[in-house]
């Protein structure tokens, strides 16, 4: 998720996950919107009118809560209505929406000239310290990813550490389609603000998927806000 500092979190709207009770910023959690007909659907950008509930669990945890009726029960009590209709495949809908948001953001940064492709160009930019974020397609070879990672460590003066690019949950075909290029296997962001924007969307997606390589600073920033909250609701 997007990197934030404790001071920034103090001024960010804080919400509570209706399932776990964990707190986070609106940017870290996902909103479920209540429609006039009682329907519950994802509102990934928190722009839908009316009332909504917030979740901060993984897709697997959300599916279990939906299948067991826990989610519906909590929503009925929270919204004080028996008229609740949760869409089928809620977790799948959220996952696909987060994937699209990430790929769309990556495409925008490509068109703005904030990223580079190609092994030689990436390695050169990495060694000169220009790369702010390094990404690998899910079907990238271990050898190719290792070489890109090593070049990045050289430029970051981080040799001997485990620092490396993030392996994405999409393959080169999906990356190529989003970027309008052929055979996009590795992607390097060379602008810090662009990298932060991409990580915001990627972090939300990886956390929802429960990926082991989800950025750790999202969890840290949630911890940062716990000392600055009192009566925070899961509903708005």
Residue 17 lies in a domain: yes
Whole-prediction pTM: 0.87
Residue 24 lies in a domain: yes
Q: Are residues 137 and 47 part of one domain?
A: no
> Do 198 and 123 meet the contact criterion of CB atoms below 8 Å apart?
no
Range of the domain at 197: 95-214
Residue 54 lies in a domain: yes
Q: Are residues 107 and 61 part of one domain?
A: no
- Residue spans of beta strands (DSSP E) within 76-126: 85-86, 115-117
Q: Are residues 209 and 120 part of one domain?
A: yes
228 Cβ contact partners less than 8 Å away, ≥ 6 residues apart: 9, 10, 14
Helix, coil or strand: residue 188: strand
Q: Are residues 202 and 189 part of one domain?
A: yes
Q: What is the pLDDT along the chain (236 residues), one digit of tens a residue?
A: 333 333 444 456 899 999 999 999 888 899 999 999 999 999 999 999 999 999 999 999 999 999 999 999 999 999 999 999 999 899 999 999 999 999 999 999 999 999 999 999 999 999 999 999 999 999 999 999 999 999 999 999 999 999 999 999 999 999 999 999 999 999 999 999 999 999 999 999 999 999 877 765 444 344 444 444 455 677 77
- CATH number for the domain harbouring residue 16: 3.30.1230.10
Q: Are residues 101 and 29 part of one domain?
A: no
Q: Are residues 167 and 56 part of one domain?
A: no
Bridge partners for 167 per DSSP: 136
- CATH number for the domain harbouring residue 114: 3.30.1330.30
Q: What is the pLDDT of residue 211?
A: 84
Q: Are residues 100 and 202 part of one domain?
A: yes
Q: Are residues 117 and 50 part of one domain?
A: no
Q: What is the pLDDT of residue 11?
A: 52
183: phi > 0 → left, psi -120 to 50 → alpha, else beta; which?
Answer: left
Q: What is the pLDDT of residue 222?
A: 42
Q: Are residues 109 and 78 part of one domain?
A: no
> Do 178 and 103 meet the contact criterion of CB atoms below 8 Å apart?
yes
Q: What is the pLDDT of residue 59?
A: 96
Domain count, the chain: 2
Q: Are residues 12 and 79 part of one domain?
A: yes
Residue 233 lies in a domain: no
Q: Are residues 163 and 110 part of one domain?
A: yes
Q: Are residues 155 and 79 part of one domain?
A: no
């Amino acid at each position: 998720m997007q990197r934030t500092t404790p001071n920034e979190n103090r001024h960010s709207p804080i919400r509570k996950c209706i399932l776990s009770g964990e707190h986070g910023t609106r940017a870290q959690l996902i909103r479920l919107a209540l429609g006039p007909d009682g329907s519950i659907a994802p509102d990934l950008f928190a722009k839908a009118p009316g009332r909504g509930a917030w979740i901060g669990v993984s897709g697997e945890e959300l599916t279990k809560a939906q299948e067991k009726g826990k989610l519906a029960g909590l929503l009925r009590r929270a919204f004080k209505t028996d008229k609740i209709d949760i869409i089928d495949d809620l977790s799948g809908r959220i996952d696909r929406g987060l994937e699209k948001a990430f790929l769309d953001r990556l495409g925008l940064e490509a068109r703005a000239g904030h990223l580079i492709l190609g092994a030689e160009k990436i390695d050169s930019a990495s060694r000169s310290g220009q790369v702010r974020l390094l990404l690998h397609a899910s079907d990238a070879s271990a050898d190719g990813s290792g070489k890109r990672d090593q070049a990045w460590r050289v430029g970051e003066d981080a040799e001997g550490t485990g620092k490396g690019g993030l392996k994405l949950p999409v393959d080169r075909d999906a990356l190529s389609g989003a970027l309008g290029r052929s055979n996009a296997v590795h992607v390097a962001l060379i602008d810090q603000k662009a990298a932060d924007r991409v990580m915001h969307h990627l972090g939300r997606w990886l956390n929802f998927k429960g990926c082991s390589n989800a950025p750790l600073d999202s969890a840290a920033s949630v911890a940062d806000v716990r000392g600055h909250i009192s009566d925070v609701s899961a509903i708005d």
